[in-house]
Amino acid sequence: MDKYVINGGRKLYGTLEISGAKNAAVAIIPAVLMVNGRCRLENLPQISDTDKLLQILTLMGAKVDFISPGTVDVDCSDVYLSDKIFPLTRQIRASYYLIGSMLGRFGKARTTMPGGCNFGVRPIDQHVKGMKALGVSVNIARGLIDAEAGNGLRGAHIYLDKVSVGATINVMIAAVMAKGRTVIENVAREPHIVDLANFLNSMGADIRGAGTDVIKVRGVESLHGGTYSLIPDQIEAGTYMAAVAGAGGSVRINNVIPRHLECISAKLREMGVEVEEYGDAITVRREGPLERVNVKTQPYPGFPTDMQPQITTVLCMAQGTSIVTEGVWDNRYKYVNELRKMGAEIQVSGKTAIIEGGRRLTGAPVAACDLRAGAAMVVAGLCAEGTTVVEDVVFIERGYEDMVGKLRSLGADIIAVSEPDPRMEFASRPRLIG
C-alpha cells in the first residue's frame, strides 16, 4: 500500500488481537539458520520485515513452508552462503543478526551493512567488539561485512560498553555454537531478548540469565528442530493503547503479556487513562481529559524509545506542557515536523521535546518518516479533526500486521490506498482498498 486516508475524530470501541513480536521474529528467523532440522515458528507476525528475512533464508537454500497465517516451517538442513541476499539485507536492520548465525553455522559470515529506520548514527561497534572477543576477525569495507572465526568460535568474557539490544542478540547468537562458556555483561533486557533465548534453548542451546544484565552461554555442538511460539508484540500493543488514549473510547486488547506493557500502562494511567490487566489481555478506556506528564525513554524496563513518537503525539492533546526526553537515540524527532502540519506545538532541543498540549489536531497530508513515526501519524490522524493522508506507509507495513484492518474493526474510519502504476494506461484513479 502507498498511503492511508483517515477521517479522524471517532472514538475506538471493541476488541483486537495483537500479533507476534516483530523484534523477536527478526532475531529468531536469522537464528533458525543454525538449526539442523525443521523449525516450526508460530505466532509469527505477517509483516514485510519477516517476509524479507524468510526470503533471505530461502536464497541461502532453506526450505520455507507457510502452514497457516502466522505459522511457518523452516528447514535449514542444506544452507549455504550466498551473495544473492545482499539486495535484501541492505533493506532491513535485523539482517545484522545473520553475522552471529552465519558464524555459528559456517564459521564465517558475509552480508551487507544493515538498513532500517534512520535515527541518526547507528553504530555496530559493540557487535564487532563481541565477535572479536569470540575469536572472529571482522572486515567492513564498501558496505560489506566479512567475518571469519579462523580457529572456530571460542567462549569469552565480554563487557558491552553500551546497553544495546542488537549487540546483545548478535553476540548471544554467535556464543551458542562457541567452544566453552561465554559471559556477556551489561546486556539489554528487552522481552524479545528473553524470547530469543527461550527459542534457542528449546532447540538445544544452553543460555542463562536472559532478562537480567548478565547472560551466560555454554556452547553446544548443534541445535535440533522443534516448534516455538513467539511472544506478543509489546510495541504494537502500546501503539493501540496510545491510539485509544488519544482518540478516546474503550478497547480490549487480547494476546498481550501485561507485564511487558507495565512501563506504558503506568504512564497512561498518570495521564488519566484507565488500564486494567487480565491474564493475557488488557482493557484501555479513556473518556475524560488527558493530563500532562513527563516521559523519558530508556532501555527495558524503562519507557520504550519505540513508543516515543506515539506518546508525544497523544501528549499534544493533554492539558498543559509535557516534556519528553529521548534516552536512547540521538535523532528521533524528525516526525515532529509532520505533527506541526497538523497543528501540534512542539519545541525540540537536542534530545528533549517540549509539547504545549491542549490542542485539537487538524487533518493534513503527512509522511511516515520511519516505522514508529508512521504509527504516530496514524494515531494523530485518528485523533484529528478532518482528513489525514499518511504517505510512505511502506515503513508502517514493515512492522505492523494489518494495521488498517485492526483499526477499522474498532470503528476507525481509515482506508489503505494503492496508487496506480503511471505506466499502466487503464489505471487513471487511485484504487481504494478497505
* Shortest separation between residue 128's beta carbon and ligand UD1, angstroms: 7
Pick the closer one to ligand UD1 by CB: 281 or 394: 394
Q: Report how far apart, in Å, the C-alpha atoms of 101 and of each of 169, 355, 405 are.
A: 10, 43, 35
Torsion of the alpha carbons at 278, 283, 287 and 288, rounded to the nearest 10: 50
Kindly state whether residue 69 participates in binding ligand UD1, applying the rule CB under 6 A: no
Nearest residue to ligand UD1 by CB is 166
Tell me the helices (H) and strands (E) count for the chain, helix number first.
14, 24
Other CB atoms closer than 10 Å to residue 347's CB: what's the count?
11
In the numeric block, the cell 492533546 is attached to 317
CA distance 270 to 31: 39
Is there a contact between 412 and 380 (Cβ–Cβ < 8 Å)? no
Nearer to ligand UD1, 127 or 406 (CB): 127
Residue of 166, 204, 209, 357 interacting with ligand UD1 (CB under 6 A): 166
How is residue 323 written as a grid cell? 516534556
Among 218, 226, 229, 166, smallest CA distance to 202 is for 226
Per-residue binder mask for ligand UD1 (CB under 6 A), 192-221, x = binder: ------------------------------
Residue 366 binds ligand UD1 (CB under 6 A): no
Q: Of 82, 83, 137, 162, which one interacts with ligand UD1 (CB under 6 A)?
A: 162
Stretch touching ligand UD1 by CB under 6 A, among 104-112, 119-127, 238-246, 362-370: 119-127
Catalytic residue among 76, 117, 316, 369: 117
Contact (Cβ atoms closer than 8 angstroms) between residue 217 and residue 172 = yes
Q: How far apart are CA 337 and CA 110, in angstroms?
A: 38
Residues 242-301 that bind ligand UD1 (CB under 6 A): none
Could you tell me the strand order of the sheet in which 223-229 lies? 63-68, 71-75, 35-42, 223-229
Q: Which stretch binds ligand UD1 (CB under 6 A): 62-70, 102-110, 164-172, 179-187?
A: 164-172
Active site residue 316: no
**Contact positions with ligand UD1 (CB under 6 A) in 9-28:** 23, 26
Using CB under 6 A as the binding rule, whether residue 165 contacts ligand UD1 is answered as yes
Single out the residue of 39, 102, 124, 217 in contact with ligand UD1 (rule: CB under 6 A): 124
Distance CA 40, CA 73 (A): 4
Exactly one of 56, 177, 328, 373 binds ligand UD1 (CB under 6 A); that residue is 328
What residues line the site for ligand UD1 (CB under 6 A)?
A: 23, 26, 93-94, 122-127, 162, 164-167, 188, 305-306, 328-329
| Active site residues per annotation | 117
